[in-house]
Structure 1
């Protein structure tokens, strides 16, 4: 059975990664694209070999599709996701799922009630590097984890700046764009949930309208692990990385906070240094493969709706901390949807 996808949003990320990821599946097909601009939808469909182009969500949902991939601006995710769920379509939604975790919970609960497969497109947990780190920690190779560091400050290219640095109402700013990913990746690799966060944000010259283009967060996890993360849009020459330090060893990963299956992971212990091997499968292809399996009732999406709620609530807490100057607790009941 083929899974026919409709793209909600004629986006750069869909063009660069998601269309190919769907087509890489033996049972995947991109059937239609929706953009509020008819001209953009038609041009995008033509350039990417997509059979149908429409200009409303209703037209897309009334077409012969099985699932939607939502990659519009953040403030549109809730209404579009709810419409897709109501229409009985499976939903893979970009992060953040909504502008508030309360709205994200509504959407995930509606999907569960409707028997719809709902996933959050947290691509980083699909990286072989992060799965290798998670497995090494679970196997006890670094002993008891104590601390972690995430370096995920990059330079936002001109073609992606737009609403991310000018429109608070669209959910712009680095925290809703990158901190959500770092919160999710920390949760995934550590196998642990964040309990509280302290954050500083900055505007270093790129973002306007009161938005932040840099953030530094300190996280405390339920197990007692402490972590720091640095997110930014303004650092042209910074590399990315992820370190986890334990009682018996350290994992040191370089160039892994990226959309591509690259980078390296080093395990350092008393017996020396070992470079870990990991698969180099395309992150988005793996995400879609797992999503299709979930549709067949064989497991769940790589990142569930609940994972998306956790990452958004973590980012919300970071924004609240940056405004109040105080540590903010993260609700431990987040992962359970009634």
Structure 2
């Protein structure tokens, strides 16, 4: 199966490249022609370091027969790359958020539908065995009705290594855009696609103020669902640059019968490293990126509909866009009622 990595802009690109490079069933090609010249973490320099084939232009990439493509560009550039990949007949895995506007997200979904290719949104956390256990506990009635969820998705500021994350036009926003979508997607799973009814958000740029970014670096988002469930999301870039991990994601789920704590990236072993002079963190749990890529490749190979698909990616994006409207107005924002057939 020939798979293309389209752009190295996103911080997850190198991880996806490494995982796909080491698979016997993948013929990997990569391209990052929009990379800043001489950037050691982009373009041909990164391809050489990772030992993968590199293509100099988008036209060269799309002139080749492709089975699948992974889009890891700046958020605002997702649409143009997905549309070209779909037109080339490639099934698409698109990094989250699906787009920075609802119009672009809808165009992405429609382009893949017209081309008859699958579209998957990159939400790896839902592929973990721990989250599956949480989902099953809710759906089999063990927890009773889900009353509230407190979610955290905290991490280091990605704009330190990828400046575009701090550019509102390219990223669509800051920490609220970057991190709220993951929790919104998990809520989408737990509530069987029930779409949010109301969103309220607060945010500021106190963290990393010295970087002079054009986006918020900390946020709190409250999401109310029609069935009564309320989710509160801490979506801040609050990890200092010397933190032993890039980030983490947790959920505290309060049900009628029980409270469940979920940690997507649990610490297996902790301590202090004298070599680097800081705390050490050995991760536990599943390799979520590998599980997600396996699901994507299987869907591309078999032709089945991938999940999370574009519609699921659009639902989580709508929550974030409502959060930004709330930040603009200072008021809760009601989302229009939508039925599954009119998403």
TM-score, normalization by structure 2:
0.83
- Whole-Å separation in 1 of the counterparts to 2:187 and 2:43: 36
Q: Does 2:332 correspond to 1:327?
A: yes
Distance 1:332 1:50, change over 3 A: farther
SS in 2 for 1:296: helix
1:1-338 mapped onto 2 (5 Å cutoff): 3-11=1-9, 12-15=11-14, 17-23=15-21, 25-37=23-35, 40-54=42-56, 56-156=57-157, 159-160=160-161, 162-165=163-166, 167-171=167-171, 172-191=173-192, 192-206=194-208, 208-236=212-240, 240-254=249-263, 256=264, 258=265, 262=266, 280-297=285-302, 299-333=304-338, 336=341
- Report deviation, 1:316: 0.2
- Report deviation, 1:33: 2.6
RMSD: 2.5
Distance 1:300 1:31, change over 3 A: same
Q: How many residues align?
A: 314
SS in 2 for 1:204: coil
SS in 2 for 1:232: coil
Distance 1:75 1:5, change over 3 A: same
Distance 1:329 1:175, change over 3 A: same
CA contact (8 A) 2:68 2:300 kept: no
Gaps of 5+ in 2: 269-283
- Report deviation, 1:336: 4.7
Distance 1:195 1:26, change over 3 A: farther
SS in 1 for 2:186: helix
- Whole-Å separation in 2 of the counterparts to 1:22 and 1:161: 22
CA-to-partner distance for each residue in 1:231-287, whole Å, 9 max, x for gaps? 111344797421111111111123x2x5xxx469xxxxxxxxxxxxxx944212211
- Report deviation, 1:23: 4.1
SS in 1 for 2:150: strand
- Report deviation, 1:24: 5.5
Distance 1:302 1:286, change over 3 A: farther
SS in 1 for 2:161: helix
- Whole-Å separation in 2 of the counterparts to 1:327 and 1:312: 17
CA contact (8 A) 1:154 1:233 kept: yes
Distance 1:285 1:232, change over 3 A: same
- Whole-Å separation in 2 of the counterparts to 1:308 and 1:239: 20
Gaps of 5+ in 1: 265-278
CA-to-partner distance for each residue in 1:65-94, whole Å, 9 max, x for gaps? 321111111111111111111222211111
1:271 is matched with: none
- Whole-Å separation in 1 of the counterparts to 2:145 and 2:207: 40
TM-score, normalization by structure 1:
0.84
2:272 is matched with: none
Distance 1:298 1:79, change over 3 A: closer
Distance 1:20 1:332, change over 3 A: farther
Distance 1:141 1:160, change over 3 A: farther
